[in-house]
Structure 1
């Protein structure tokens, strides 16, 4: 069912699945606690009443913390009463978080105590902040108000009906270059992005949420789409415990980025001699059937590998500026070389090799950055910055990023991502960055040293050079790699785990 506000999603689902589990999370080593859809609606509406009582209805409210039930109740309470949520990355340094809180004009901060240091810093550095609310404190005090005490004191319904086209969330990008930008998304942007496509995911599907909650991909697909389907959202408490939590929560589906998928693929490789059905049962459980992939390039071979174990990978493509999904694969129509079909609420065209998209998911613009907004939007079209096209059936194909293009001495354009994806298919290549260096194309590679050890590869540089030589044999002259740099450590990455290029 298509919804145009986030409140509609929660209200509709609560009406249908009220007493059923909405969220499950660990409260001990192997002990699970759950909250129903009725409880989530009640707690979120109580937080709406809290904001009204504080005189902050309509204000900007920053939320910092790992995925938790408190985080979810706070988010829905914020956006469903006409306020603006500003989810921030809890892993950022305190000074960066203070800067973002201030740039977002947040007057309220809801904070997880894991970042108590931020609570101390914002008092000095964020003059516009009027209220600090702790997710864990049992009682309100001078330093911070207690989230749960506030909910008890202001318990009650909130019947406010948000305007679909009003700003409801500001998400800061974590690009590989430049200053982060505050993407302004409306109720319609997020709600229609999550509900416009029927992916035939069964109601009450059990989802294990492993991605950071401040990510548009997690917020839209795990949370908003999950809730629209009446799913059970299980909260993974640590990336170090994903395997254990899969056994504990027994999910049917997980949303992942390719880096996680490739890590799991290595585990599958280690037990490749065992029967496929046994491996699946031991690692994922017999109930598990779907991985949704997004955020970066996924080698098509991964789709085939997981399919062996009865697991379907649905690859998607998007960006925060599009709430975030632009295209996604559906289980009955998979094309491995594509990043899926355009969502029903999205159209695309190619302008000078760059993919432009338009539709109800496209952002309002960047918060207080008019020049950057004007550069990104033209007559309602969002310039994605990606090189690619959509075919007649709406399948999207990408070749790289426009700003990363290498222009060779003879004027040829080379997409470094195209080369990185091709060379990176080799098991010895763990991470790769292709760039222009002193007039030639250079590949800087961080090899998989564990794999090299297992395969008794002593001269790693020579083995990598051989990989480049084999690639060069089949590549046009202008796409050949003539310089190799071998790294001993991983590349520096942003919070989305993408390599920083500059």
Structure 2
């Protein structure tokens, strides 16, 4: 597999560099735009610079001191980006908070983060007004939506409009790129969240390395659907386009993504595997309903693939133009992150003429560690390490699989006020990811699963639930599942699965079989599918128990199932 050169990227040491570069190189290009109606619905690069400068100065006039911690919570919008950049470029610490957390979880983060101020959208105003009395040190509240002061709450828009200052770089304070600048509380898919301490150097290093691997053009339009508080979306979907002079457009909601794509005509879409899985299923469902199309789809994919390998580019895009039109007709790249996508989905999108890439990373690494490239990729791999990232496999087994341990300038400073947790994962400059994987002969990193989730089979083999879940999720009647280990009567750990059935598929099966949909019928249908799957698996990986669950699993905002909440004995949630 041939290497090809890295791309040239502007020098970035801190976020002020991004704003100044945008002002000088692309002043009149759109930087950020909301599809929902908001007080600041769209900004050019010049307007972004001015708004950030004004809001940063206004925070200072309000009483915020350098190094103070300022929380930000809102739906994805232009003002979220302005607030984040103003806080960090004015030498304070941004604390992005997951907008879908429960009130007590938000309260816990405010306490744990030592937030002195909070910037939020209107839907959180009542909550934060009550927090003023509950959170020690919380003094200032700023609402993104109101137009004037209401009690103890200030208006972000009025603050921006009420500042008079010189619009040049001299208004920025000096920032130490090595200092704590972003305090991110992890999604907690494995349990209690921790405060990850990141510097502007951490994130700037990651941005540059990622952009050296993947060419982003100033003409690119990103459609943002993932929550901005999450480091994957913040680094890759928000800051990344700003470095290159591209634009980020904020979808109205997950439910309107299809419509928003037709409106924005994005060239790049970042998503998590669950989002792409659902999109791919819908596409294939629509194709299967057109019986003539369904009959010729596979031969067409094979022929167009052969032509493209022979050097005739763009054939798939033309042949499957109807599918591309559903994505707005301009998609250049689909990028999956946050978890490993199903290989069949990756290859399926590629067979339809989409460039589909995946990467791997963690909040603690700012976040990207490995990435597939447009012309150097493996759909079954997480990618190759970014420039400046060192990866080694700790204590590998006979197949070369072990814990992935990494080092580089994008690795976090540690966990906030948690020395024990920091020592557990940061040792001699190396970060223990908690993920199992291996590096193949071409230098590609492959992820097997989380160390904490590994099931030790009777023969001593490691079974990774995530790999098994990929297999089970390919069954059409399965909407989602969790694979886990369950002690048998003999004391050995058996492979078990909890499944949420896909109601539409189950009813279609029942209708064809002229049967009623009963719990017994659903159980039998799934058991039959799992027997067929087991026949293709080695004995130590075969699924011995199945539990049917009626409602979907609780998930983080990046759509990871909260495994620690799954009760393997309960099928009635």
TM bin (shorter chain): over 0.9
Partner in structure 2 of residue 208 of structure 1: 223
CA deviation map 1:240-294 (0-9, x unaligned):
1111111111111110001110111122113214585342243112212211101
Return the alpha-carbon distance in structure 2 between the equivalents of residues 394 and 9 of structure 1: 32
CA contact (8 A) 2:217 2:245 kept: no
Equivalent position of 1:43 in the other structure: 51
The 8 Å contact of residues 263 and 328 in structure 2, kept in 1 or not, is answered as: no
Match of 1:219 in 2: 234
The answer to whether structure 1 residue 71 and structure 2 residue 80 are counterparts is: yes
Q: Give runs of aligned pairs for residues 14-93 of structure 1, distance below 5 A.
A: 14-26=23-35, 33-53=41-61, 54-93=63-102
Q: State the TM-score, normalizing by the size of structure 2.
A: 0.84
Partner of 1:120: 129
User: Aligned equivalents of 2:537 and 2:281: distance in 1?
Assistant: 28
Q: What is the Cα deviation at residue 359 of structure 1?
A: 0.5
Q: Name the SS for the 1:374 alignment partner.
A: helix
Q: Is 1:178 the counterpart of 2:186 in the alignment?
A: no
Of 246, 266, 277, the match for 1:262: 277
- CA offset digits 1:321-344 (Å, max 9, x no partner): 011111111111121110111111
**Matching of residue 309 in structure 1 with residue 345 in structure 2:** no
The yes-or-no answer on 1:291 pairing with 2:334 is yes
Contact 1:208/1:254 (<8 A) preserved: yes
- 1:361-384 CA-to-partner distances (Å, cap 9, x unmatched) read 100011111111110111111101
Question: Paired residue for 1:164?
Answer: 177
Q: What does 1:229-378 correspond to in 2, within 5 Å? A: 229-272=244-287, 273=290, 274=293, 277-352=320-395, 353-378=402-427
Per-residue CA deviations over 1:160-194 (Å, capped at 9, x if unaligned) read 24212111101110122221101000001111111
Among 461, 464, 489, which residue is 1:412 paired with? Answer: 461
Q: Structure 1 residues 301-310 or 34-43, which shifts more?
A: 301-310
Q: Following superposition of structure 1 onto structure 2, how do residues 412-491 of structure 1 map, counting pairs within 5 Å? A: 412-439=461-488, 440-455=494-509, 456=512, 459-491=521-553
Take 1:249 and 1:366, find their aligned partners in 2: how far apart are those partners? 38
Q: Point out where structure 1 has 5 or more consecutive residues left out of the alignment.
A: none
Contact 1:222 1:255 in 2 (8 A): yes
> Which residue of 2 is the match for residue 499 of structure 1?
561
Mapped to 2, the partners of 1:135 and 1:438 lie a distance apart of 52
Ranges in structure 2 where 5+ consecutive residues have no aligned partner: 1-8, 298-318, 396-401, 489-493, 516-520, 565-573
Work out the CA distance in 2 between the residues paired with 1:4 and 1:170: 18
Does structure 1 conserve the Cα–Cα contact (< 8 Å) formed by 2:481 and 2:500?
yes
Match of 2:115 in 1: 106
Offset at residue 33 of structure 1 (A): 4.8
Helix, strand or coil for the counterpart of 1:160?
Answer: coil
* Pairwise CA distance, 1:410: 4.7
TM-score by length of 1: 0.95
The worse-fitting range, judged by mean Cα deviation, of 158-167 and 355-364 is: 158-167
Distance 1:478 1:172 in 2: 37
* Higher helix fraction (1 or 2): 2
Per-residue deviation at 1:4? Answer: 2.0
Change (3 A) 1:27 1:448: closer
Q: Secondary structure at the match of 2:553?
A: coil
Moved more, 126-135 or 152-161: 152-161
Whether the 8 Å contact between 1:204 and 1:229 is mirrored in structure 2 is no
Q: Distance in 2 between matches of 1:99 and 1:267?
A: 39
Query: For this pair of structures, how many residues does the alignment match?
Result: 500
